[in-house]
Amino acid sequence: MQLSASQPIWSIPAQAVPATLQSTLQGLSDSEAQRRLERFGANRLPSQRRRSLLLRFVDQLVHFMALLLWVAGALAFAAGTPQLGWAIWAVVLVNGLFSFWQDYQAERTLTALKRSLPRQVRLWRNGELTELDAELLVPGDRILLEEGDQVPADARLIQANELSLDLSVLTGESQPVARHADAIDSLPAGNVVLIPTRERANLVLAGTSVAGGRGEAIVYATGGETEFGHVAHLTAATTRGISTLEQQVGHIVRTITAIALIMGAITFSLSLLFVGMGPLESLVFAVGIIVANVPEGLLPTVTLALAINVQRMASQKALVRRLSAVETLGSVSVICSDKTGTLTCNRMAVEEIWLPQAGEQPGVDRGGEAELLLAACLCSNAQLKASGDGSRALGDPTETALLVAARARDLGLEVHQQRHTRSRELPFDSHRRRMSVIVATEAGLQLITKGAPLELLERCSPAGRAQAVAANDDLACRGYRVIAVAQRSLEATEEQAPADQLEQKLNLLGLIALYDPPRPEVPEAIRQCHQAGIKVTMVTGDYGLTAQAIARQIGLLDMPAKGDNHPQADPVRVIQGDQLELISDVHLRQLLKYRNRLVFARMAPEQKLRLVQAYRSLGEVVAVTGDGVNDAPALRAADVGIAMGLVGTDVAREAADVVLLDDNFATIVTAVRFGRGVVANIRKFLPYVLASNVAEMAPFLAMVTVQIPAALTVLQILAVDLGTDLLPALGLGAEAPESGLMRQPPRRRSAPLLDRPLMLRAYLVLGLSEAVVSMTAYLLSWQQQGVGLAELRLAAPLLLHGEAGPALVASQQQASSVAFSCIVAGQIGVAMACRSEHRSAFVNLVQQGWRRNPLLWLGIAAEILFTALLLYWPPLSRLAAMVPIDSRALPMVLLAPLVVMLADDWRKSRVTA
């Protein structure tokens, strides 16, 4: 809602804005904020309108595979077999319900996970700066905005320091627009030319982001009353391109559908020409073959595999914002990682201080140390807030480390901050690499500048510069982040001069060395990356020597690449941003192609983007980490953008596919492992579904070639699909990633999920062994009933045309029941074999135990129960033309899964030999 004022908010002087909006510079009290929250409502946009649940359910009934089954059912009705038609349509409905439920649950999961990372806003409450969930913001709140923040509500600026906004979400313009806190005169009465609110230079609007600088503002509109809320199309879902996984699944559907239609056409022709069936009988059998070859469980299994891994990744501190990004993670071949906070602990602490007058003896001049630290703290926007267990830091980790060091030395920091009031700020940006403030002191105006030593030393007097550079390099070689601090006196007339003019002829106060220790788990994570064939490239804004020292400490320097004969065969090469500018695109691609360990230091945002584009042009699948607004282009350009959840800006999070809740490089490696697990699970599910098709086709082929009765009816084939494919396949989709996944090279982006080896395994090994077992059991069942092969051939025409007597029909039902049971048992063996592409099914069963994947065992239990109902429950038995199997057939049923597992183990031994 909006808090109204008697005149346009932009026309009110900055100092009068708090009173006009019934607030103060100390912010609102908690009680007043709660009252306004109840009055105006939460600061969120109205819920986005989505397709109704009914329409979304209909979507699951009209996709390509579903349409094929609808037509098949209609053909069954036309052929005079309504039972078959209803059974086929029941398959469509059951599959549609399950797919809809899985899609709905996956959406709810993603929504719930996103709520676990609420957007935070810094504001004043009860006179103190604090952080709150942006949804609790109300009109009248005084908020703080810095580079990378997303503006949480419409607000009027009361202070702006070099502030610029990215208004592209409202205007489409990508160039940042400057903002100020001065009042804007209202237009003359009667003037019909109106300036849009978004163009008022002293307003910041919800949905936009801070491109640079710093500002403070008072909120006047929240939620649906903001400019963002008024533009309805801005809340509509963005249409995105089809993902790699969706392309792969589409290819699989088209391939299997083509196989199904071809097999159906062949079935119809052969049964009509050689078996002696009539046109309608041939059509019924062809429809059954088509239905048997359609993978009804494919889409829900893919969705389930993605959704389960999203939940698992969230438990490991990786929040996935887009389901299909999980699969892309599995193909990542290059990780471009930030250093600070990702490879390191993000626990900055001041370790050493170097003073020009002390030479190489840090800490000799204690007065100089105090002056240096206090100046650095005055040129800072961080704050330390008292809390129950000590103090809580708000702001940049480097700046908070300076405050902690000053407070630990008892330098009277708070007194100096109150005494030296700031009159102007020149904010830090990634190109200037420095920040300056102008403060009032007893001696007059002072400019204090802190930033990267080499850039800052160029603006200091030449005296002692070489000594300072040497000291900087020495500290950097030990892995320290070094900042320089300088100052100079100003005349009153210089206060509003341009930044480049102010930051000249500075006097160096000294260097401050801070250390951010590497995360202890990072060396092992990097080792796993190299073992998995993934290149790790460090991309940082730090000094090259600092970056190289950290690279050595985390093992990036000495870790041999895959195939290296010596640890130093491919040493780390450190390239700084100014050097990168001199490298052509062709040379850069060659460098990236043949070097596995690279460190890019002093990188500007456009250089990071160029690096990502160069890697992608080589065919690499690139994951990029980032936390700032300037990282957004690289995050969007990467195959997988990974933003920091703890210190990352709102803009970076919105641009990313994955948000790390712990900002830890090791979590990226865990996410890649889960991504590979998704692909592996889909490849486990596919042979399981395809294998039963061979066993379902075998009875018809035997009928044509050997001229015996068909071992299965069309309804029994449908029962196999419904009873064996869906639930166990979903269980395979929920398998945990195998331990050996991270010892394999990355999967090529173009590699198909349904490749030739997988089809050969499914059809010629698993499917063929299952078919041989079921057909052998079928013939042995006849033999146990005293009917040999010759007599069986004579009985075939009678059974086909419905002229057989009751005894012959009962014998056929017994043999069909045995064949059906063997196929179901064989599918259990297929499920066990498919749990691993390389490891023995028996070894895998022993090592993984019975509790590793409860969903798989639940699916197997369900298919056993379904088979028992078909055999022993009269209503279903009569419908499926089945009877309880003879006890003499039980050994054949129990042997079926063992035969299938042994056959696949033989194939695995031949592949690995």
Average pLDDT, the chain: 83
- CATH class (in words) of the domain with range 54-108+242-310+672-736+752-912: mainly alpha
pLDDT digits (tens, 9 = 90+) for 94-139: 777 766 776 676 566 556 555 555 578 999 999 888 888 888 999 9
Asked whether the beta carbons of 828 and 897 are under 8 A apart, the reply is: yes
Closest CA to 822 of 777, 857, 865: 777
Q: What's residue 237's pLDDT?
A: 37
Each domain of the chain, given as residue ranges in start order, spans 9-43+137-235, 54-108+242-310+672-736+752-912, 318-344+519-663, 351-513
Asked whether the beta carbons of 165 and 210 are under 8 A apart, the reply is: yes
pLDDT digits (tens, 9 = 90+) for 721-735: 766 677 888 888 888
Rg (CA), the chain: 35
Backbone angles phi, psi at 387, to 5 degrees: -140, 180
pLDDT digits (tens, 9 = 90+) for 582-633: 999 999 999 998 887 789 998 887 888 899 999 999 999 999 998 876 677 8
Candidates 3.40.50.1820, 3.30.110.70, 1.10.3720.10, 3.40.1110.10; CATH matching 351-513: 3.40.1110.10
Structure tokens at 135: 């949804």
Whether pLDDT at 307 is above 70: yes
Distance CA 17, CA 157 (A): 9
Neighbours of 581 (CB within 10 A): 10
Whether pLDDT at 478 is above 80: yes
DSSP conformation letters of 606-662: HHHHHHHHHHHHTT--EEEEE-SGGGHHHHHHSSEEEEESSS--HHHHHH-SEEESS
Distance CA 736, CA 753 (A): 19
Whether pLDDT at 148 is above 60: yes
Distance CA 910, CA 90 (A): 42
Closest CA to 796 of 686, 699, 690, 673: 699
Asked whether the beta carbons of 288 and 699 are under 8 A apart, the reply is: no
Whether pLDDT at 379 is above 90: yes
Res. 192 pLDDT band, cuts 50 70 90: very low
Closest CA to 660 of 269, 266, 183, 316: 316
Q: What's residue 309's pLDDT?
A: 80
**Is residue 905 packed enough to be buried (19+ CB in 10 Å), middle (13-18) or exposed (0-12)?**
middle
Backbone angles phi, psi at 547, to 5 degrees: -60, -40
pTM of the model: 0.76
Neighbours of 275 (CB within 10 A): 19
Q: What's residue 262's pLDDT?
A: 86
Residues catalogued as catalytic: 338
| C-alpha 71: how far from chain center | 38
Distance CA 236, CA 383 (A): 39
Lowest mean pLDDT among 230-244, 447-461, 626-640, 672-686: 230-244
pLDDT digits (tens, 9 = 90+) for 207-226: 788 888 889 999 999 887 88
Angle (CA) 523 527 532, round 5°? 145
Summarize the confidence of residues 335-340 as an average pLDDT.
89
Order of all β-strands in the sheet with 444-451: 349-354, 507-515, 481-490, 444-451, 434-441, 422-426
Whether pLDDT at 233 is above 80: no
DSSP 3-state of 840: coil
Distance CA 348, CA 761 (A): 55
Instruction: Report the CATH architecture of 9-43+137-235.
Output: Distorted Sandwich (2.70)
Helices 244-270 and 64-78 cross at an angle (nearest 10°) of 20
- Residues 730, 736, 738, 739: what is their CA dihedral angle, to the nearest 10 degrees? 180
In 126-239 the beta strands, taken as DSSP E runs, fall at: 128-133, 142-146, 154-166, 177-178, 203-204, 209-221
First to last CA, the chain: 70
Angle (CA) 295 296 302, round 5°? 85
Distance CA 82, CA 244 (A): 40
pLDDT digits (tens, 9 = 90+) for 412-447: 888 888 888 888 888 887 778 899 999 998 888 999
Q: Do domains 318-344+519-663 and 351-513 have the same CATH topology?
A: no
Q: What's residue 453's pLDDT?
A: 94
- CATH class (in words) of the domain with range 318-344+519-663: alpha beta
Q: Tell me the CA distances in angstroms from 196 to 2, 199, 227, 730, 913, one per residue in order.
A: 17, 5, 10, 54, 73
660 beta partners: 318, 644
Q: What's residue 560's pLDDT?
A: 44
Asked whether the beta carbons of 683 and 704 are under 8 A apart, the reply is: no
pLDDT digits (tens, 9 = 90+) for 875-889: 989 988 999 999 999
Angle (CA) 654 452 637, round 5°? 25
Lowest mean pLDDT among 555-564, 581-590, 772-781, 857-866: 555-564
Whether pLDDT at 193 is above 50: no
Q: Is 627 left (phi over 0), alpha (psi -120 to 50) or beta?
A: alpha
Q: What's residue 460's pLDDT?
A: 93
